[in-house]
């Protein structure tokens, strides 16, 4: 499933190329709680059609009524980008469904150049990163190649966003858990690849839209060329496969590296990697295991929910409290049993 950002840009380009009037809105700054993060985009066509979102729905409705003639608004016309703010007062925050104290600032682009959007999409579809800078005073948008994902920024005069290929996930082991994780990952905009050198395991794979690779995991990880938007999960339950993948992954920039296994198996894996492969406690700090957050999961589907939650927290730079750690939660349960 394509990421929502790419869907918004692709749809906006197609609408503009077809001669439609289009408004492109981007969340530029937020204060307090906000339903959508900075950089989130939506495209609005003059007949009221919308793709993407900048809030929980009420702000989208306001933009529709302001800028589409179908609902009595002024319509979308050419002009310089504008900055609009929602939720300054408590009444306005309530009206637009913003959390208490929430304020949202949007940059509105009127009929952006569809050729420029097409060039941007060509770069993204080729797997590259692109930095798009919008100068509000002139309305000029420029594109630059970049090799490093950067944080979205807006200083009131210039909006800069680094866009790139969607987040990628590499799964080692084509079992039931991998299928559930792959399904959830695709719903969250990840491009998923599964690797398993065992033909009998790969033959049973049933999740559509996932690239299948038959090969040794360390070779596949190397060829995958992990970057800052990559997560790698070892799910085969076979140390010969999982360990090889982890050894290669740990020396790359993937934002999440994890392996399935109980607390005991996870500890044995760490000891094995240190004793036989020269890893250290420091180099293994990035290795998640047992993976997931503690929700009492038992089935593959429930475990996948747990694992995907932890991956999304890492992706969004959220530090999870210790009580959500599988290891800490189970240790606390054991202490309660002993105390009881």
What is the set of domains in the chain, with CATH numbers? 4-163 (no CATH), 168-331 (3.40.50.720)
Say how far apart CA 26 and CA 39 lie, in whole Å.
6
pLDDT digits (tens, 9 = 90+) for 197-209: 999 999 999 999 9
Q: Which residues of the chain have pLDDT under 50?
A: none
Alpha carbon dihedral 56, 58, 60, 66, in 10-degree steps, equals: -170
Count how many Cα atoms sit within 13 Å of the Cα of residue 193 in the half-sphere of its side chain. 19
> What pLDDT is attached to residue 252?
92
> What pLDDT is attached to residue 338?
78
Q: In what order do the strands lie in the sheet with 82-86?
A: 50-52, 41-45, 22-31, 103-110, 82-86
Confidence (pTM): 0.70
Task: Please provide residue 137's backbone torsions phi and psi, each rounded to the nearest 5 degrees.
Answer: -65, -35
Cβ(323)–Cβ(290) below 8 Å: no
Cβ(67)–Cβ(23) below 8 Å: yes
> What pLDDT is attached to residue 140?
94
Q: In what order do the strands lie in the sheet with 140-146?
A: 140-146, 129-135, 158-163, 153-154
Helix H or strand E segment including 215: none
Say how far apart CA 163 and CA 192 lie, in whole Å.
19
Cβ(5)–Cβ(69) below 8 Å: no
CB count in 10 Å sphere of residue 149 = 14
> What pLDDT is attached to residue 124?
84
Report whether the peptide linkage leading into residue 76 is cis, meaning its omega lies within 30 degrees of zero: no
Helix H or strand E segment including 135: strand 129-135
Residues 6 or more apart whose CB falls under 8 angstroms from that of 218 comprise 244, 245, 247, 248
Residue 223 has which token pair? 């060829």
Intra-chain end-to-end CA distance of the chain, in Å: 49
> What pLDDT is attached to residue 92?
63
Say how far apart CA 162 and CA 303 lie, in whole Å.
33
């Amino acid at each position: 499933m394509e990421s929502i950002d790419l869907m918004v840009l692709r749809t906006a380009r197609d609408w503009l190329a077809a001669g439609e009037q289009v408004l492109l809105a981007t969340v530029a700054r937020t204060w307090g709680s906000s339903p959508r993060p900075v950089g989130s985009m939506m495209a609005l066509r003059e007949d009221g059609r919308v793709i993407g979102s900048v809030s929980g729905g009420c702000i989208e409705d306001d933009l529709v009524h302001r800028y589409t003639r179908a609902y009595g608004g002024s319509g979308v016309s050419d002009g310089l980008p504008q900055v609009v703010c929602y939720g300054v007062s408590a009444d306005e925050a309530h009206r637009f469904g913003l959390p208490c104290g929430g304020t949202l600032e949007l940059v509105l682009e009127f009929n952006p150049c569809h050729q420029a959007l097409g060039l941007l999409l060509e770069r993204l579809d080729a797997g590259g990163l692109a930095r798009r800078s919008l100068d509000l005073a002139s309305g000029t948008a420029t594109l630059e190649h970049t090799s490093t994902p950067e944080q979205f920024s807006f200083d009131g005069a210039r909006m800069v966003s680094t866009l790139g290929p969607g987040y990628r996930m590499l799964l080692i082991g084509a079992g039931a858990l991998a299928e559930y994780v792959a399904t959830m990952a695709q719903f969250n905009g990840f491009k998923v690849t599964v690797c398993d050198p065992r033909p009998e395991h790969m033959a049973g794979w049933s999740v559509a839209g996932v690239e299948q690779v038959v090969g040794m995991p360390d070779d596949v990880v190397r060829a995958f060329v992990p970057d800052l938007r990559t997560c790698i999960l070892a799910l085969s339950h076979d140390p010969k496969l999982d360990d090889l993948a982890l050894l290669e992954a740990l020396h790359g920039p993937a934002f999440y590296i994890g392996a399935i296994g109980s607390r005991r198996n996870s500890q044995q894996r760490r000891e094995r990697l240190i004793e036989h492969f020269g890893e250290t406690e420091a180099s293994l700090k990035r290795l998640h295991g047992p993976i997931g957050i503690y929700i009492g999961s038992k089935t593959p589907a429930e475990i996948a929910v747990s694992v995907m939650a932890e991956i999304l927290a890492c992706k969004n730079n959220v530090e999870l409290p210790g009580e959500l750690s599988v290891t800490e939660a189970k240790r606390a349960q054991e202490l309660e049993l002993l105390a009881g």
